[in-house]
Amino acid sequence: MESREHPAGFTSEPAKQPGPGVPPELAKPTPKKSDPVFTLFKEVIELIVVTLVLLIGIRFLIAEARFIPSSSMEPTLQIGDRLIVEKVSGHLRRPIRRGEIIVFYPPPAEMGGKDLSNDPLTVLGRLTGLPFLPYEPAFIKRVIGLPGDKIRVQKNVGVYINDQLLDESPYVKEKPQYDLNALGDVGNRSNHGNDLRPYKDPKLVNEPIVVPAGHLFVMGDNRNNSEDSHMWGFLDQNRVIGRACLLFWRFFAPPRYLEGP
């Protein structure tokens, strides 16, 4: 087939005809080359989305890593320790046991009355752990009282559970230097300067310290340097993040499991 010459002097290629037996309307057009910038942008977005989904899935369903910033759990946990907080048992509805070490979001009273649980950015920060999202501190303590337990603390002696002295020699740093005999004894001034008196109602001050349903009584192993239930009261189990199960980083020490009761 001969080529045709345009009036301007250019020669055009002959038009390609579809193969024999193929209708012209079904002939495939020549694919256009995609814009490399658009392709790169699309791949980056897809990578970000996949990464976020994996982060949320792992942190929400399985486990997350945590850093120990204070001495409240000495000698069991030291400043700078890094540990794994598992969440599988919580999703499987396994009951929390006395003696276990748990990580949780502190009660709003401890944080000056601020409850960030309904803030969308804070919730996203909880799920992903991304550093540029709002930071919500978490506490780590040992479970001492379970729902229904009666708690009493005697200065220089220890903790009584249902009038039985609890054997804490394997983990506690020293004897408590305070007494807790009734709800009115719960309270102190926090490190944030908040005056914590959760049970100052005259109807409650003389009531025994009995853990209500759906709550826990938690304490740090370093009893005299720990902001815990002896200051802000019972912990709602809905604020529990998970159970500390593995200490995977400490200078000059091998990894070890954090044994429960």
Burial 159-187 (b: 16+ CB within 10 A, else e): bbbeeeebebeeebbeebeeebeebbbbb
Strand partners, 83: 66, 247
Residue 71 bears catalytic tag = no
Instruction: Give CA–CA dist 69/91, Å, rounded.
Output: 27
Q: Percent helix, strand and coil across the chain, each rounded to 5?
A: 25, 25, 50
For residue 190, indicate whether it is catalytic.
no
Total number of residues shown for the chain: 261
User: Which own/partner contact pairs does 91-95 have at CB distance under 8 Å and 24+ positions apart?
Assistant: 91/61
- The 10 Å Cβ neighbour count of residue 77 is 25
Catalytic residue among 87, 141, 173, 229: 141
Annotated catalytic residue, options 72, 87, 226, 229: 72
Could you give the CA distance from residue 218 to residue 105 in angstroms, rounded to a whole number?
12
Catalytic residue positions?
Answer: 72, 141
